[in-house]
Amino acid sequence: MRASITRPPTPDGDDGAEGAPVSDMEPTLQEKINIKLVESGEKEKLKELLRERLIECGWKDEMKALCRAYARQKGRNNVTVDDLIHVITPKGRASVPDSIKAELLQRIQTFLVAAAL
């Protein structure tokens, strides 16, 4: 079947992966872990722990200062939230302390062992 240049092909419920319909596909390991974390309430606990640790180490204040400096540089009326997200996100992710990442990873691993995943 040839695809039209002016419109995309009509989906037929098949993603092409070994002929299995999308609805019959097994969730990935990452999806299973996320489901377990959400169902158990552990994901919210981890998010709260992350918030606390980032505030304690001054990361939140550092990101706020970066946002303010960017807004001053571009002019307050010329900056959108999307601009801030685009500029600050890479810096923010790169500046999370390794100790916090390690602590969260350890908590996730402990949860997975206890959940037998």
Write down the pLDDT at residue 115. Answer: 85
Write down the pLDDT at residue 11. Answer: 52
pTM exceeds 0.85: no
Q: What share of the chain is helix, strand, coil (3-state, %, to 5)?
A: 70, 0, 30
Q: Vertex 47, ends 42 and 50: CA angle to 5°?
A: 125
Write down the pLDDT at residue 25. Answer: 84
pLDDT at 97 over 50: yes
Q: What is the CATH number of domain 42-115?
A: 1.10.246.140
Write down the pLDDT at residue 21. Answer: 53
To the nearest whole percent, how much of the chain has pLDDT over 90? 70
